[in-house]
Structure 1
């Protein structure tokens, strides 16, 4: 409305120009999108006036839509969770097209609605051995590994019992509703918080909170104690989770060591983090691998384009916020200078929808639906050649029942699914009771022209003018002996880094992990070493794994941590090459891989002391052993 009402707002003539031609998408794809977004079944959106888009390209394009039910059906499938349905998607849609070369991973994106969905998808891709680049949105301080720390810190500072409840229900703790009710009842019967923590034996972690409440350590040591006592590394151990945890520790260290306006205690740190929350440099950390599939939210995909797009959406998932918390509804006057109507509520959203503000709320909801529909349009038009839409839903009964039960006020994704079904029903094929599919056009990829070059006359600025005598300096004669020594030393370090990179991807001796290690190490170091030399090193490391099965035996070690980060009492970071745990025999073996002659026994002893000092190791009486393992190159 703001853009279309410029003329009345400015009281000046305004010239409008419609962008009616797509220079990105091919015709079969664009015509399919035209038919969908011009559908009469999208009338639920206020002021949705779709104009058909022409296509500058003359041929090509591909669209595939999969409709997948995740509900349990006797004799067909068990109920699928998010990871389960994503594995079905990867297994049936992604892997076959990658293996046959029908899609180029470097020019392929998977678009999803939420960061949490992207995280689950990334874990599935890890299991499948598929490289990806994960673009995360959102603040570092809202990451699932960081939020439990904030719940504890807020509880310690404000003594707010609700922060304790949030912590106990976080991804770290996942306390059951029954246990949570017992905690709440015990708190209600206690005189104060101290009495509750001192006398509450419902969970050992509550005793830990009592100790933390009277801490006198520095902020960084307090956070490290929280991480150790509550076993963060046992729950959050993926590469992305640990990277975000490490970044948060860096923020805590920055707070303690830098000059700022906040008091240097936990209260000041909470304020400090709140001030940084909206800054881009404190966004969540994702993962980047060259020549890999991109994982993005719809929001992050705006302005980008990819040859192939997979849009994976949960049709029956919650799309909006909940009915609690502060809600603001507003409607601008026609000139956008004032509010025509407004309302706000805290926790009474459902009641407001039945009040005299009902029309205002309906108008705002229609406006929000239009915004979401526009976002979906933007996401689907990121594709140049190929568009895969994977819609999964949870419904007892068949697809027809799911469509028939779609209400007029249903969420936008349900309405889109209904529109696809109604507009393209003649092309729908049933593969099973839980899987239907439709296809249009032919899947294709553009051949990369390796001979394509752009030539341009290079104009260097004056300060690169080599004819100026002032810029000419006599070059010192290099010390060839020194250069030779440095080269050999650096190459030795490089070889060691390659070995450690390979082994960081191998927990157990199986073909899948070996292949992942080989591909990821080649991608990382392929430009730094001759191919034959690199392959020779990788084969030797692979042979080492095969010949030393005792270190890679899944029946012997049921938990393995590669490149495991530990901190000493001074906050100094160290990284253990490999730590293997037998939780039945209560044994821990720490391995330090060596490719040279430099053996630091003191370092290995320090690792042993740090691990022996962990609460879980003390409590369960684990025996900790260490060993240097040499790899001959």
Structure 2
């Protein structure tokens, strides 16, 4: 039996109250959790009466396996009494079905058992595929957006406009999706959405609002404290150096007093008063020093103090810009505008949640968020006034054990608290320093709150600290402690890194072990990311090769002996997956075996490109690029010259046509012919097989018959490539378990995954026992350990989108938006945006620090880090600006960190800690760190050695001659189609079919290229002498007004006038155009019978409806002398002014602003009826319904023409 520490024993044996175990990295928390369960079972507890919640399915499986192994060990212990022995034997059979799972899996079991409590159909499927969820969300949003567009909702248009960039209107969609992620992980989703609006509300003044008092004032005080801290540092420098004292003491001293006074006034004085004081505040300039003062003195501290003053000025300016750019009246005006936008956003968000729910309901699916919400509903819903589900679980479970408690979210905490009561207790294990799932809305503050509360003397609950690290060498612990005692505190990091939190070595490594930590700073001026990435990978590979070549010695703790390093002792970690594809390629060339747990660009790998091309041509062989990709691949094996020969047979048709024609061509060669014939037979076989079998079976058939699996297995990285192909097979299997079916749909699904940036992660191809270097992200490494850890890119920039985006989100404070002025398109930040942005910056920096902690604590013996800089001097100067020199570093300096390199530099490599050995080597002996400056190798000047060869005459090949001849002799068989336009607008051919029996058009309208034209283009504006408004412009403006007017009631003249004025304000209309619009005629239109039908069915009306139809060229250009094939088609496109879609059919209407007289009336009706006829033909095809009404409406004379009767 192992010897437990005192704290470990407490965690194993203490009972009867809630316990929070704060377990540092390497402290053996999983072992302790298992041992606690075992001891409870030995005391007579049943495994069925324990709920053990893990963070991942893999962790649950591992825990079951380890628990089962431990119980079996005890059963073989002959010292156990008979009753205990029998009891433990029973437990062995219960462990596989015990409640040891993720919280999501447990919620699923609640739903399956008590679905009837909330009237849920039990025949549902879990949306475990995130891509399928993404596609369904996209569909839900598209449906919702189209409904709003159809209603022409002006508030929705404003909302969209506020979040739209110049490229698309997807900005609002991104906001809705992000807001959904925050709302849905909140226990009270609807209330949380309501609170978003409350954040922007005020009664009398902004200074009296809850937001100002609860959110703005604390941040103001915090920022002023940072300024005061900077002035204290300046005063310390002044006391240390006479020159600084003479020049800048008064600057720092006066500023300190002013800031302290202002801090006391915040919360007492109004926003306007504080703003006035800041506007009037001037930082005193430094006193000029004479030459005599400076001569013979060290000016380093003086320069440092000047930089400190500059920093003080920058932070003061930022404080003003963040909070006080606008006057209080301006802030209040912004809040009023924001309220409208936020209220509409909340409405849209609720609509999205409802529509997404409807789609899931229709497909009988649930996602992971549904599991949590439905479990809560079931637990809180009574049946016959009895809380049947809640009582069942509260009675069943005697203890709830929560692993990785630091990563629970608010919704999961709600479930945990519901299940616990006075008769059962919570045992929570975690480490807030390893909370790294903020993107999943993990809430480390829940752990932090209990961490504080459980230390109170009046709290019966217990906090147990496990600080001993049984994983790492002392050098690793010292390095980690040195970093985090300088950068972690409650403000940034959520916990003080004190003696209770720091790592204490729990394993004694032999003194002979080389455990020096390395920071290799690569120096290169290249701006290209590709070049930087290549340098990092090359140097990491070289370092590994040196370790292997020198037979670096590893300490084996289990055997207590030294052994020679293996590749499997090394792990390469990074923040993201972006380097992995290059790593695979370079390490294969360097002959370093690696296992990549998750590389990007899965579908870009050669083997997947071949397979996706094959599936594409099985679905449709008339696709040139995938077809040639397969022909060029090892499956067929044609080379470029052979592919060119096939193309020469027919250069105009699809390549598949040329391929078939090649079999019978006189010029075909036997060896190519054989390959082509075999491939076409094979392809025909696959196409037939695909119609009768599943996609997965088709894929496996291709693997078996082509030998592709065996082929890629023999390539560099063969195991990985084979695993990639197996993953595609598994993906197809999983796909066909969904509601989506068919090869074509599967191909579209895969394409959609790539469009949504949901590339599959590359699967593990190698067993953990294989001798390979492991490559993974920090997130994937959590819970693992390796003798040597290489961190690849310490200079990788933090992701700042969470606090620098146009819209920012926070669980507590909601959403901060940027307003866009609709007239000048200028953006300006709201004060809510500034407050939430500042809060998110702290949260992001905290999470990045915790990621660094997780990365560094994976190492057992040695850390090797690679960073990057263009200028060494600038980087080191940044590290030297750190203050204070001991204790926790200034908050503002920590928040300036852009990457892990900055965090390590300011905490371990400042001038106080750094010892210079040479211009390329620095040490920090306190934490056994070595800083190596690595400069690029000097390469030979190859340019001077380039030999320019003499020109050698080359006789053209027969293939080249044949190609040139065919090009020169070629006549295109479809020249008529080239001369025919591929596209016509309805407006251009509106005379066609004016009379359904008359298909003749005026000869002069038919141009050389067979296209009907409206005539010459309008002159550009700078060539037009007058700026008189044209009739066409008035017509377009009138249509725009008719498109935007609300139809929920019959609009009157005043409604049109108000709308026109709004459009003028929004720069949609000019004043000149607005004056020309006849509001009386527009009001008359809606008073007419046709207008009243539109009002009555306004929910079924679509305005400015785009439609297209393919028409035979023979029909469209019957008057042409050209000979058109029956297959020649023209795409005719137009926009219908209005469509009313009724159950029994469709009514279309088109209004005209022409000047109508008795003389031209019939001519105009005849002219426009052709246009409406085409619209009717197109809409009937699109909607698959008959057109039951066709109307022309002439606004000038307020007259409707029923074309259905003509």
With normalisation by structure 1, the TM-score equals 0.45
With normalisation by structure 2, the TM-score equals 0.26
Report which of the two has the higher share of helix. Answer: 2
Bigger Rg, which one: 2
Larger relative contact order, structure 1 or 2 (CA cutoff 8 Å, min sep 6): 1
